[in-house]
């Protein structure tokens, strides 16, 4: 005889991922067990919603941020050195670079920055980097 049973899992309210995705189980037979397993895997509950570890972070002021990327990538250029640099920072990071470094872009992901640097290389004139960056952003964003 086959009988239907009621089982539970926790679903991320942001990305809809299930808490059992990274485990050997597909669900649990009681709500508390499902919740407990999720919490052990760094899930959080906020205003009755559940979020997986990929979907929340804290900014520099310890404010909870839901559903946004945890980092951004900054492209900086040093005219003195004649090259640019990419740096990944946590969201909320505001420190400005050394005076001879100029911020060219503050809104790319680390993947996009890496792709950009691989496409053009680090040693370039400021004009070339700015031109290429404009093209890159037009093409990719
Ligand atoms: Zn999620």
What separation in Å is there between the alpha carbon of 90 and the centre of ligand 1?
18
Residue 129 is predicted with a pLDDT of 94
CA distances from 17 to 55, 88, 92, 105 (A): 10, 26, 26, 31
Spans of the chain below 70 pLDDT: 68-69
Whether residues 37 and 16 fall in one domain: yes
What separation in Å is there between the alpha carbon of 50 and the centre of ligand 1?
8
Distance CA 49, CA 72 (A): 25
Structural domain boundaries, residue 4: 1-68
What separation in Å is there between the alpha carbon of 71 and the centre of ligand 1?
16
Whether residues 98 and 59 fall in one domain: no
Q: What ranges make up the beta strands (E) of 1-141?
A: 44-46, 49-51, 56-58, 64-66, 71-78, 83-90, 101-108
Residue 58 is predicted with a pLDDT of 82
Whether residues 64 and 75 fall in one domain: no
What separation in Å is there between the alpha carbon of 108 and the centre of ligand 1?
21
How many structural domains does the chain have? 2
Distance CA 108, CA 43 (A): 26
Residue 68 is predicted with a pLDDT of 65
CA distances from 31 to 8, 9, 10, 14, 127 (A): 6, 7, 9, 20, 59
What separation in Å is there between the alpha carbon of 118 and the centre of ligand 1?
30
Tell which residue, 52, 32, 57, 28, has the closest CA to residue 42: 52
């Amino acid at each position: 005889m086959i009988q239907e049973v009621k089982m539970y899992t926790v679903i991320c309210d942001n990305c809809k991922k299930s808490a059992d995705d990274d485990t050997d189980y597909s669900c649990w037979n009681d709500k508390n067990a499902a919740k407990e397993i999720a919490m052990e895997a760094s899930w959080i509950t906020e205003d009755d919603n559940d979020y997986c570890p990929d979907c929340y972070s804290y900014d520099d002021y310890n404010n909870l941020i839901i559903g946004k990327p945890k980092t951004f990538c900054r492209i900086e250029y040093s005219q003195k050195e004649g090259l640019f640099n990419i740096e990944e920072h946590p969201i909320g990071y505001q420190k400005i670079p050394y005076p001879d470094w100029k911020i060219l872009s503050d809104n790319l992901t680390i993947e996009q920055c890496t792709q950009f640097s691989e496409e053009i290389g680090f040693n370039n004139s400021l004009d070339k980097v700015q031109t290429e960056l404009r093209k890159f952003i037009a093409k990719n964003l």
